[in-house]
């Protein structure tokens, strides 16, 4: 159920597993939209960052056991995934060296979506687009059939079902949380969901005036006794802040907003220079104007904003800069609190945080421990990763395992 990244991969491997079984089970892929895989189409700015070249599994976020998460991912290591796309879909992957991201050589997300659906069809998967699954009824007797209930009342009997309907992010791609509702109704624990990898909003006019400026920064935060740091692109938008560094920390902000307590502090280091490097540069600046030294490292309008927030006149020479002013300026350059006020929610979120608890899923087959014959995969599970191909890595690995599990060949 669901012809997104996880569901289509599940169908491919279910069909492959089915071909070794006698009698051969039929594989049916049900999809609400007219063509499926709409998130793949908009992924990576239309280029589809299909995988990370060297994933750091510690960067995944889950409220379930990180060990369960790692066990699930072990089933299909990244090198094997790369080989799959290369050999089975004929897609050569190109490495973007500075980010470690892999993209199809054609830079066309459509090649990934169409390639997966074509492979599924070639393997005998029967696909029905434009059908919405409304409900799922478990077998009345152990080993009996599931009943898939479609909008309009049609019922389909199935010996096993793979739930791959995604989460709540970007609902106009077809995912509205149906699968989360169904899993909860079947007795699954669903960890509270929240938008993740979503832009933050702000009401600071001095920042709104910088809309369009982008630069690499480092963001820092401290939550639950842990230090979080992301380095990468940062973009001033007319609503607030976006770019990989912001998206990767946004869940901390979102969760603090949802918890209703103190707002999560996120600070920005605007340049590659840390506090001691700036301290040294300003001390050694002599007759150079402080404004000149700052503008050398930052776009002019941003440099002016930093100087203004530190209350420092850029026309002051470095040697005239008072100690207190120097400290204020160094703080504004290396640890400016980001005055975020909200976030752009699921409408813009690249993924859903939270979801079906991993400890209720067999890590090898992704079969539900609550409802045998039900297999769950993709974004609806309680895990997401940072920008960089991690979320497809999760969708491909869980989809494959669930597909093989569903035909009993995992
Ligand atoms: C703008 C954007 C860019 C992204 N870029 C990247 C990237 O470059 N790299 C990366 O790794 N990740 C990226 N992601 C994240 C990635 O797209 C998701 O993690 C991944 O698509 C999740 O796959 P899924 O199959 O679990 O869910 P989905 O892709 O959401 O698929 C779920 C499918 O189920 C269907 N469905 C839902 N409910 C029903 C129902 N009731 N009946 C029938 N069908 C139903 C939906 O129509 C949909 O086709 C991006 C996400 C967004 C929004």
Residues of the chain with pLDDT > 70: what percent? Answer: 100
Q: Which of 325, 343, 361 is the last residue of a domain?
A: 343
Distance 362 CA to ligand 1 centre (A): 22
The average pLDDT across 10-29 equals: 94
Q: Is the CB of 9 under 6 A from ligand 1?
A: no
Whether residue 79 contacts residue 102, with contact meaning beta carbons closer than 8 Å, is answered with: no
Do 95 and 166 have their domain in common? yes
166, pLDDT greater than 80: yes
Domain with 277 in it = 199-343
Residue 220 sits in a domain whose CATH number is: 1.10.8
- Total domain count, the chain: 2
Return mean pLDDT, the chain: 96
Q: Is the CB of 200 under 6 A from ligand 1?
A: no
Q: Is the CB of 32 under 6 A from ligand 1?
A: yes
Q: Residue 374, preceding bond cis, omega within 30 degrees?
A: no
Pocket test for ligand 1, best of 165, 381, 388 (most atoms within 8 A of CB): 165
The Cα–Cα gap between 367 and 373 comes to: 7
Asked if the structure places residue 348 within a domain, the reply is: no
Q: Report the pLDDT value the prediction gives residue 314, as an integer from 0 to 100.
A: 96
Do 373 and 280 have their domain in common? no
28, pLDDT greater than 90: yes
Q: Rg of the chain over CA atoms, in angstroms?
A: 24
Q: Report the pLDDT value the prediction gives residue 224, as an integer from 0 to 100.
A: 87
Of 209, 200, 293, 296, the C-alpha closest to 245 is 200
Asked if the structure places residue 151 within a domain, the reply is: yes
Do 189 and 215 have their domain in common? no
Q: Report the pLDDT value the prediction gives residue 410, as an integer from 0 to 100.
A: 67
Do 191 and 203 have their domain in common? no
The average pLDDT across 10-32 equals: 95
334, pLDDT greater than 70: yes
323, pLDDT greater than 70: yes
Of 157, 148, 174, 145, the C-alpha closest to 4 is 174
88, pLDDT greater than 80: yes
Q: Is the CB of 382 under 6 A from ligand 1?
A: no
Whether residue 161 contacts residue 183, with contact meaning beta carbons closer than 8 Å, is answered with: no
Asked if the structure places residue 164 within a domain, the reply is: yes
Q: Which of 294, 315, 343 is the last residue of a domain?
A: 343
Range list of β-strands (E), 190-257 = 190-196, 200-202, 214-223, 226-236, 240-242
38, pLDDT greater than 80: yes
CB neighbours (10 Å) of residue 160? 20
Pocket test for ligand 1, best of 391, 397, 400, 402 (most atoms within 8 A of CB): 391
Asked if the structure places residue 16 within a domain, the reply is: yes
pLDDT in tens, 272-299: 999 999 999 999 999 999 999 999 999 9
Residue 362 sits in a domain whose CATH number is: 3.50.50.60
Q: Report the pLDDT value the prediction gives residue 4, as an integer from 0 to 100.
A: 98
Do 314 and 369 have their domain in common? no
The Cα–Cα gap between 390 and 302 comes to: 32
The Cα–Cα gap between 234 and 256 comes to: 21
341, pLDDT greater than 90: yes
- Nearest Cα residue to atom 51 of ligand 1: 350
The Cα–Cα gap between 374 and 244 comes to: 35
Distance 89 CA to ligand 1 centre (A): 19
Do 64 and 78 have their domain in common? yes
Residues of the chain with pLDDT > 90: what percent? Answer: 97
Do 155 and 234 have their domain in common? no
Do 15 and 139 have their domain in common? yes
The Cα–Cα gap between 3 and 30 comes to: 7
Do 158 and 266 have their domain in common? no
- Do the strands 133-137 and 101-104 form a parallel or antiparallel pair, or are they unpaired? unpaired
Own/partner contacts of 20-26, CB < 8 Å, gap of 24 or more, are 20/409, 21/407, 21/408, 21/409, 25/159, 25/407, 26/126
Do 174 and 262 have their domain in common? no
Do 369 and 265 have their domain in common? no
Do 156 and 264 have their domain in common? no
Distance 55 CA to ligand 1 centre (A): 20
36, pLDDT greater than 80: yes
409, pLDDT greater than 90: no
* Confidence class for position 401, pLDDT limits 50, 70, 90: very high
pTM for this predicted structure: 0.96
Distance 36 CA to ligand 1 centre (A): 9
């Amino acid at each position: 159920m669901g012809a997104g990244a996880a569901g289509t991969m599940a169908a491919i491997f279910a069909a492959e597993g089915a071909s070794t079984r006698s009698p051969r089970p039929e594989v049916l892929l049900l999809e609400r939209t007219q063509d499926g895989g709409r998130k793949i189409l908009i992924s990576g700015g239309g280029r589809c960052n299909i995988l990370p070249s060297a994933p750091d599994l510690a960067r995944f976020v889950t409220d379930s056991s990180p060990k369960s998460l790692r066990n699930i991912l072990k089933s299909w290591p990244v090198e094997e995934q790369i080989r799959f796309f290369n050999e089975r879909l004929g897609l050569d992957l190109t490495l973007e060296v500075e980010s470690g991201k892999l993209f199809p050589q054609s830079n066309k997300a459509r090649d990934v979506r169409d390639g997966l659906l074509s492979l599924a069809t070639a393997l005998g998967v029967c696909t029905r687009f434009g059908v919405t699954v409304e409900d799922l009824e478990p077998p009345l007797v152990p080993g009996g059939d599931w009943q898939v209930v479609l909008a309009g009342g049609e019922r389909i009997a199935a010996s096993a079902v793979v739930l791959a309907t995604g989460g709540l992010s970007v609902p106009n791609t077809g995912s509205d949380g149906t699968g989360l509702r169904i899993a909860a109704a079947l007795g699954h624990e669903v960890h509270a969901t929240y938008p993740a990898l979503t832009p933050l909003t702000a009401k600071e006019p001095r920042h709104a005036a910088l809309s369009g400026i982008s630069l690499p920064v480092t963001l820092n935060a401290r939550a639950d006794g842990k230090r979080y740091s992301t380095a990468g692109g940062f973009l001033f938008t007319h609503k607030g802040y976006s770019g990989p560094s912001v998206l990767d920390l946004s869940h901390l902000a979102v969760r603090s907003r949802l918890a209703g307590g103190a707002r999560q502090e996120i600070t920005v280091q605007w340049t590659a220079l840390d506090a001691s490097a700036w301290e040294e540069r300003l001390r050694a600046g002599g007759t150079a104007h402080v404004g000149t030294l700052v503008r050398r490292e930052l776009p002019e309008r941003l440099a002016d904003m930093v100087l203004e927030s530190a209350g420092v006149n850029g026309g002051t020479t470095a040697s005239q800069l008072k100690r207190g002013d120097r400290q204020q300026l160094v703080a504004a350059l290396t640890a400016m609190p980001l005055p975020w006020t909200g976030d752009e929610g699921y409408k813009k979120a690249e993924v859903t945080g939270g979801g079906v608890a991993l400890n209720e899923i067999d890590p090898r087959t992704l079969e539900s421990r609550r409802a045998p014959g039900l297999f769950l995969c993709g974004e609806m599970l309680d895990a997401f990763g940072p920008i960089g191909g991690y979320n497809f890595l999760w969708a491909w690995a869980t989809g494959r395992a669930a597909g093989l599990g569903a035909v009993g060949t995992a």
